[in-house]
Amino acid sequence: MSAHKKFTFLIIHGMGEQQEFSTLDLFTRNLMNVLHAHTQTPILLEHCHDPLHPVIENFVRLTYSDPTPTQLDLHEYYWAPTSERSISFKEIIQWLIHASKGAKHFYQTHQALAAKYDWDSTLTTLDQLYLKEIGGVTEGVGSLPILRQKLPHWLEPLLRLIMSNSEKLVVDYLGDVATYTTTDKRLSQYATRLEILNGAIAKVRYLLEKDCEHLILLGHSLGSVIAYDVLNGIHLAIQSDPVFKDHHHALKKLITFGSPLDKVAFFLSDQTPVTYSIKRWMINNLLSYRQLHTPPTFPGFVQTTPFLEPILEQLPWENYWDPKDPISGPLDYYTHVENIQVDNGLSWGYAHSGYWTNNHFYNQAIIPLLDSPK
């Protein structure tokens, strides 16, 4: 059957012990159930295998008619092996110390936004697991001189208790975040971050080059940060890269869920002093796609020129968050984002993984796209 409508979805998984095709499996199974309930029509499921093109070697295709023949190509970007165990437990603690300092800086310099961003006052103190609380503990631990040498065995159980997980899980989960959010080019984790990001950009580039009609990016958890960075990279390259220049119109929507993007921007962004106006200006140009930031102040005799044409500024962006998901939240630090609160039906913390099985999420984020005219 020749499809009249074609959609391509690229799903980017989050942090932790991820297995290849697991994210694709979760998304596809639940999408098929919701899609069948919506259309009441048979769905053809295909495993597409293209060994000559390793960038998209394996993906899933769904085909149905409602009544228009529609084809969905579902791809995943599997980046977990790149980051696995690329950071030590000690380095994670140092990263948490850096994050806590970033939190202090944020609360000192963005008081109005900080007050807005705090959890709802109806939540209990225990519910407010937030970097400003975590940071206070880890910064105290990190001030011990022994940490600069080697983590003692007696300290590890305490840190495990603080983080409610074993060292292995801390490394697997927080390690992914610490590795990918490293922006210091002097650190070894930066090369890992670059490899993950460049791999994602290459996959999007290849999909666009294949003349897909509609490309939708979905990022869960840390995957939402990667998806955002992909768009930032395309934004920077769109004038010089012929593929992005000619095919960026196929980018139809960014869907983030369980996203920590605001926290990354608040606590882990560059903390360049205001006096370094040229440096701040250049960093804002390179890393601030659709971010709300205060431009640096220059003398009256200095005029600046626009760095880039804002071609992707109006790309639809939906952000789904659950109040019981401590990683997620409304993205207030970015422009043109539709923040959509959902209830994943799970308890505090566990709600972070509940989007995959939440039928309302698919009905709100995916089905309207498929029902839209060609």
> In this structure, are 338 and 290 located in the same domain?
yes
Asked if 251 and 201 sit in the same domain, the reply is yes
243 and 286 belong to one structural domain: yes
Whether residues 231 and 364 fall in one domain: yes
Indicate the pairing of strand 58-65 with strand 44-49.
antiparallel
Choose the final residue of a domain: 126, 156, 189.
Answer: 189
- Picking from 146, 170, 189, the residue at the C-terminal end of a domain is 189
Amino acid at 303: Q
Note the pLDDT of residue 338: 96
Residues 364 and 245 in one domain: yes
| Cα gap 187→92, rounded to integer Å | 13
Same domain flag for 214 and 268: yes
239-277 pLDDT, tens per residue? Answer: 889 999 999 999 999 999 999 888 777 666 667 777 888
Q: Which of 201, 323, 330, 200 is closest to 265 using CA atoms?
A: 330
CATH of the domain at 39: 3.40.50
- 175 and 279 assigned to the same domain: no
206 phi, psi to nearest 5 deg: -65, -40
| pLDDT tens digits, 155-188 | 344 344 445 444 454 555 566 676 777 777 887 7
Cα–Cα distance, 266 to 105 (Å, whole number):
9
Eight-class DSSP state of 325: -
Residues 214 and 181 placed together within one structural domain of the fold? no
Per-residue pLDDT tens over the stretch 319-330: 999 999 888 889
Do 104 and 62 fall within a single domain?
no
Backbone angle region of 211, left / alpha / beta, with phi > 0 → left and psi within -120 to 50 → alpha:
left
- Shared domain for 100 and 62, answered yes or no, is no
Neighbouring CB atoms inside 10 A of 95's CB total 22
Q: Within the chain, where are the H helices?
A: 22-39, 80-83, 89-109, 111-117, 131-142, 155-163, 167-180, 188-209, 222-237, 242-247, 261-268, 277-287, 359-365, 367-371
Mean pLDDT of 22-43: 96
Q: Which of 162, 189, 216 is the last residue of a domain?
A: 189
- Report, as an integer, the average pLDDT of 283-292: 82
Give me the pLDDT at residue 280, please.
84
Nearest-angstrom CA–CA distance, 234 and 245:
9
pLDDT tens profile 331-371? 988 999 999 999 999 988 889 899 999 999 999 999 999 99
Q: Taking the complete model, does pTM exceed 0.85, yes or no?
A: no
Total structural domains in the chain? 2
Instruction: Supply the range of the domain harboring residue 147.
Output: 86-189
Q: Are residues 20 and 157 in the same domain?
A: no
Is the same domain home to 308 and 252? yes
